[in-house]
Amino acid sequence: MEKEDNVARIYYTIGEVAAMFEVNTSLIRFWEKEFDIIQPKKNKKGNRLFTQKDVDNFHLIYNLVKERGYTLKGAKEKLRKNPEDSTRDYELIKSLNKMENFLRGIKKHLES
């Protein structure tokens, strides 16, 4: 692992955010316009620079729309009415995914 992987990033480019979610940059721009919780900074060239909070909000949106099947309207409403519930649900899913990966690693280690 490179040293940079261990250091918290301040800003991510649109390409980096798109790669994290395996989506096109056009979807990132679209969600930015649709969801007011995404507020990237722009540099002098006009390039979007996303903070970790923006990335976390993309995770929430991605979870609702892509993984749980919400419509954009439904996801906006859920985030507006119950942002704490959405965040808690996402954090729970993230913890369960980490646990699953950990257990799979143990299983793989025991099988070898």
**Structural domain boundaries enclosing 16:** 3-111
Q: Is the pLDDT of residue 3 over 50?
A: no
Domain count, the chain: 1
Which pLDDT tens digit goes with each residue over 43-89? 999 999 999 999 989 999 998 999 889 999 999 998 888 777 777 87
Query: What's the rounded Cα separation, in Å, for the pair 41 and 38?
Result: 10
- Residue 78, Cβ density class (10 Å: 0-12 exposed, 13-18 middle, ≥19 buried): middle
- Going from the C-alpha of 89 to that of each of 36, 49, 94, the distances in angstroms are 20, 27, 9
Which pLDDT tens digit goes with each residue over 4-38? 454 567 999 999 999 999 999 999 999 999 999 99
Q: Is the pTM of this model over 0.85?
A: no
**CATH number of the domain within which 27 lies:** 1.10.1660.10
